[in-house]
């Protein structure tokens, strides 16, 4: 089968790091670690495994982080290469056993995280609690497990992701898509689940002011979760570009601000007015302004040094910052506001089970995707490419302002 494979190579890594600034194709072109090539089609690993043909697969920020070597080296034990990338998968079932719970021809989405059950082992403490994205055996490979190391499909040598013409998944990972949900909405299930998880980690309360930072799919997933779950509070979005702010308003944000449109002092004044109450702007001797008062809850959906420092500056004293963007190594961070404002910082990863301990986040998202409130979410899929056009898809993601992209998907079949 044809598949987009990431195969970590130290010489290619060094070449890209040395000259990629001047020749970006060193990250994703012919001399890179990313190659479109023929690989063996995966075989089911037992009666509980299902054959799949990817229909649409979203390109995620974590895929790009791997391609451009932005991931923290600390996370390397949680991946195994070479790997077929792609974990935001909408697929057709092409083969399933009698007890798989799905049938050939079903349209399904795939929860990509790997639990102890999928590894064929007794549940660790995290999996037993329904928190399988933080499975304690993710870094264990053979012989303790039938699978090599890896947190999720798409960054796993044994389990190819959706950037290929075929894949397999354990029956526990599959969720049938309701017929009324169109493909462009269904393919958003995985990133939407990330937004649902973040909102459930610290849900807004009545009367609270909420700020979402970011202009990518995860920021819009948080906005969508707030709307689809009918959460209370007033929600605003802080992003980089005007088109991103405009889209946020159509998705239910009460206000949206584009950093590129104003200087930092004017932006701070507008955020203070939006935060309401006694919020006011303070100008330090050196550095950008910050707020006294401010937002009750801030969801940082970028994970960069700038976005996280911005979150600290605009949160109120005693407020909460939820890290939804996958922050890695952030040098020279100013953490002064964490202690001076007594902020609470929440980390969040993936999704899992809801508070009731029974409902999976994926199922909750799918239950919401055919509700009237979900209408229009498919506009978040701004670009579609074939597998052979993967380099164009990467460029569309990197040059978002030029392409006005949000979610880019590949159609492997």
Q: Which residues pair with 57 in a beta bridge?
A: 89, 410
In what helix (H) or strand (E) does residue 292 lie, and over which residues does it extend?
strand 290-292
Model pLDDT for residues 50-60, shown as the tens digit of each residue: 999 999 999 99
DSSP string, 8-46: --HHHHHHHHHHTTT-THHHHSTTSSEEEEE-PPP---S
Domain span at 300: 192-347
For residue 359, name the pLDDT band (cuts at 50, 70, 90).
confident
pLDDT at 357: 67
pLDDT at 113: 95
CB atoms within 10 A of CB 98: 7
Higher pLDDT, 353 or 254: 254
**Residue 247 is assigned to a structural domain of this protein:** yes
Torsion 105-109-112-116 (CA) sign = negative
Q: How far apart are the first and last CA of the chain?
A: 10
pLDDT at 387: 96
Mean pLDDT within 304-312? 93
Measure the CA–CA gap between 6 and 15, rounded to whole angstroms: 16
| 302 and 262 both lie in a single domain | yes
CA distances from 355 to 131, 168, 351, 363 (A): 11, 29, 11, 13
Model pLDDT for residues 266-293, shown as the tens digit of each residue: 999 999 999 988 899 999 999 899 999 9
Instruction: Give percent above pLDDT 70 in the chain.
Output: 98
pLDDT at 355: 66
**Residue 122 is assigned to a structural domain of this protein:** no
pLDDT at 111 over 90: yes
Measure the CA–CA gap between 278 and 50, rounded to whole angstroms: 57
How many distinct structural domains can be found in the chain? 2
Fill in the DSSP letter of residue 374: G
pLDDT at 354 over 80: no
**Residue 93 is assigned to a structural domain of this protein:** yes
What's the CATH code of the domain at 247? 3.40.50.720
Q: At which of 328, 347, 366 does a domain end?
A: 347
| 96 and 8 both lie in a single domain | yes
> What is the average pLDDT value for the chain, to the nearest integer?
92
pLDDT at 90: 98
For residue 261, name the pLDDT band (cuts at 50, 70, 90).
confident
Measure the CA–CA gap between 114 and 172, rounded to whole angstroms: 10
| 76 and 106 both lie in a single domain | yes
pLDDT at 145 over 80: no
**Residue 243 is assigned to a structural domain of this protein:** yes
| 336 and 398 both lie in a single domain | no
| 158 and 204 both lie in a single domain | no
For residue 358, name the pLDDT band (cuts at 50, 70, 90).
confident
pLDDT at 9 over 90: no
**Residue 365 is assigned to a structural domain of this protein:** no
Angle (nearest 5°) at CA 117 between 119 and 124: 95
| 159 and 212 both lie in a single domain | no
Model pLDDT for residues 329-341, shown as the tens digit of each residue: 778 888 999 999 9
Measure the CA–CA gap between 235 and 154, rounded to whole angstroms: 33
pLDDT at 122 over 70: yes
Mean pLDDT within 348-376? 86
| 316 and 400 both lie in a single domain | no
**Residue 273 is assigned to a structural domain of this protein:** yes
pLDDT at 391: 96
| 266 and 155 both lie in a single domain | no
Higher pLDDT, 70 or 271: 271
pLDDT at 77 over 70: yes
As given in the structure block, the two tokens for residue 51 are: 């054959």
Smallest CA-to-CA distance from 408 within 111, 162, 60 is with: 60
pLDDT at 412: 92
pLDDT at 143: 67
Contact call for residues 324 and 307 (beta carbons, < 8 A) = no
**Residue 182 is assigned to a structural domain of this protein:** no
Mean pLDDT within 206-235? 93
Mean pLDDT within 208-220? 95
The single residue listed with the structure tokens 């060193």 is: 26
Mean pLDDT within 56-74? 90
Task: Read off the pTM.
Answer: 0.93
As given in the structure block, the two tokens for residue 242 are: 């005007």
pLDDT at 377 over 70: yes
Instruction: Give percent above pLDDT 90 in the chain.
Output: 71
Angle (nearest 5°) at CA 265 between 261 and 271: 75
């Amino acid at each position: 089968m044809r598949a987009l494979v990431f195969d970590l190579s130290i010489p290619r890594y060094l070449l890209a790091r040395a000259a990629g600034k001047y020749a970006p194709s060193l990250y994703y072109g012919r001399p890179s670690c990313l190659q479109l090539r023929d690989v063996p089609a995966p075989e089911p690993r037992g009666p509980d495994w299902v054959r799949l043909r990817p229909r649409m697969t979203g390109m995620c920020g974590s895929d790009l982080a791997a391609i451009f070597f932005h991931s923290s080296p600390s996370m390397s034990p949680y991946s195994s290469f070479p790997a077929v990338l792609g974990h935001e998968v909408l697929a057709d079932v092409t083969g399933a056993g009698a007890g798989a719970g799905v049938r050939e021809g079903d349209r399904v989405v795939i929860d990509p995280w790997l639990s102890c059950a999928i590894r064929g082992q007794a549940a660790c403490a995290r999996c037993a609690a329904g928190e399988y994205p933080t499975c304690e055996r993710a870094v264990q490979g053979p012989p303790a497990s039938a699978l090599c190391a890896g947190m999720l499909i798409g960054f796993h040598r044994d389990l190819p992701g959706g950037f290929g013409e075929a894949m397999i998944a354990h029956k526990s990972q599959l969720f049938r898509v309701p017929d009324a949900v169109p493909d462009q909405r269904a393919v958003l299930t995985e990133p939407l689940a990330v937004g649902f998880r973040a909102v459930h980690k610290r849900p807004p309360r009545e009367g609270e002011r909420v700020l979402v930072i970011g202009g990518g799919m995860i920021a819009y997933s948080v906005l969508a979760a707030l709307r689809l779950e009918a959460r209370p509070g007033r929600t605003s979005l802080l992003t980089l570009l005007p088109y991103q702010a405009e889209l946020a308003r159509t998705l239910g944000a009460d206000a949206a601000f584009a950093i590129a449109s104003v200087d930092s002092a004017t932006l701070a004044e507008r955020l203070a007015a939006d935060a309401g109450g006694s919020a006011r702007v303070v100008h330090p001797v050196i550095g950008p302004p910050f707020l006294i008062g401010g937002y009750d809850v801030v969801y940082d959906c970028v994970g960069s040094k700038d976005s996280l420092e911005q979150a600290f500056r605009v949160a109120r004293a005693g407020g909460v910052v939820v890290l939804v963007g996958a922050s890695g190594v952030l040098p020279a961070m100013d953490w002064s506001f964490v202690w001076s404002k007594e902020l609470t910082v929440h980390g969040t990863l993936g999704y899992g089970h809801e508070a009731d301990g029974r409902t999976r986040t994926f199922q909750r998202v799918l239950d919401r995707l055919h509700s009237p409130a979900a209408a229009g979410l498919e506009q978040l899929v701004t670009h579609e490419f074939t597998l052979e056009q993967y380099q164009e898809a990467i460029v569309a993601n990197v040059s978002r302002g030029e392409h006005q992209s949000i979610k880019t998907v590949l159609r492997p079949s």
